[in-house]
Amino acid sequence: MTDDASPIIRIEAVAKHFGGNVVAVDSVDLDIADGEFFALLGPSGCGKTTLLRMLAGFETPTSGRILLDGEDITDLPPNRRPVNMVFQSYAVFPHMTVQQNVGYGLKVDGVSSGEITTRVGEALEMVRLGEFGARRPDELSGGQRQRVALARALIKRPRVLLLDEPLSALDKKLRSEMQFELVRLRNEVGITFIMVTHDQEEAMSMSGRIGVMDKGRIAQLGQPQEIYERPANRFVADFIGSINLMEGTLSQRSDDDVTVRCLELGADISVQCDDPANVGSDVCIGVRPEKVRLLPGEAAENGKHLVGTLIETAYLGERSIHHVRVGESKIIQASAPNDAAAGFGAFAVGSKVALSWPAGAAILLNRR
């Protein structure tokens, strides 16, 4: 969130304990701006869904408070909060038509039938289901049922829409299509979206900012590119995308780079950084596979490259992943596009190869 953006959601030192001993959320502080598409990302059990449920009012914090537009809503019940939630299972009523599902919340609130008809029509057009109002859920695809759940949530015009793993029930192709649909929808309605997901690609392609959670805390907060390119610690680096992690000891440092002695590689690696770690510290180097270049074995003769043996290549269509053994057993991954310029097919399994990466591509991380 930018410094001049006023938060619509402010989470202050919020914690949630279960049974006295289980800490699901551990003193989280977080601001979310009005109109932001924000993602809470992390593995199962990290606390992201519990935090979302506290925002919705389905769980009460053990300590701390939650503010919406400056109002303390910590103890407000769900039906009195200007938020709505789309569940992982969609929770679409099977015995109702699409129109009845979408208008159900307004009917419960006592809205007139004429206004319900108008608003249901607008909501269905918004999610591109205008011609499906008379159908029942079992006549819809998974993506269409998800849109029904979205329309039902949006029709009540919430200030904040909460999304709990909204695309997890969809196949890969449909999930990719719906990612763009959700972003389009957020841009169209202009309200704040807060999404919980364990899918890194989903979070990075849809959200403007991500909060990566680990053991009930925010491990890193930032824009997708920042988190991917400059992870704050080893957990974030390893969780977000693929990365080569090489352990070693910081053996030398200057003003703008350090040298790390990696026994598992049998080599010294130079890393551009101003990290304050002391000489002798145990550290870890991270390099993304797409930053690693695969070169003919002769290139290693100049002493500026790692030397290894190509042991496996996996063809993935537009890209291939190469596994190279360096030292006795360390495997380094290199990802390269499958085109003539990249020399696809030029390296045979079992051949000697050299590995390199651009200056600045390596990241220095704490070993823990």
**Does residue 152 lie within any of the structural domains?**
yes
Q: Domain check: are 125 and 248 in the same one?
A: no
Q: How confident is the model at residue 8 (pLDDT cuts 50, 70, 90)?
A: very high
Q: Domain check: are 273 and 222 in the same one?
A: no
Decide which of 209 and 154 is more confident: 209
Top-ranked range on mean pLDDT: pick from 189-203, 210-224, 250-264, 293-307: 210-224
What does the pLDDT average to over 236-263? 89
| Helix locations, the chain, DSSP H | 48-56, 98-108, 113-126, 142-154, 172-189, 200-206, 224-229, 234-239
Domain boundary among 183, 209, 235: 235
Domain boundary among 235, 265, 295: 235
Q: Domain check: are 129 and 39 in the same one?
A: yes
Q: How confident is the model at residue 4 (pLDDT cuts 50, 70, 90)?
A: low
How many domains does the chain fold into? 2
Q: Domain check: are 221 and 254 in the same one?
A: no
Tell me the pLDDT tens digit for each residue of 96-110.
999 999 998 899 888
Residue 342 CA to residue 322 CA, distance in Å, equals 13
Q: Domain check: are 55 and 172 in the same one?
A: yes
Q: How far is CA 221 from CA 109, 165, 168, 212, 218, in A?
A: 38, 19, 23, 6, 7
What does the pLDDT average to over 207-232? 95
Q: Domain check: are 221 and 348 in the same one?
A: no
For 356, the domain range is 242-366
Domain boundary among 201, 235, 269: 235
Look at residue 270 in the predicted model and tell me its pLDDT.
Answer: 86
Give the Cβ contact number of residue 295 at 10 Å. 17
Q: In CATH, what number is assigned to the domain containing residue 348?
A: 2.40.50.140
Residue 140 CA to residue 149 CA, distance in Å, equals 12
Q: Domain check: are 206 and 258 in the same one?
A: no
Q: How confident is the model at residue 213 (pLDDT cuts 50, 70, 90)?
A: very high
Over the chain, what is the mean pLDDT? 88
Give the Cβ contact number of residue 1 at 10 Å. 18
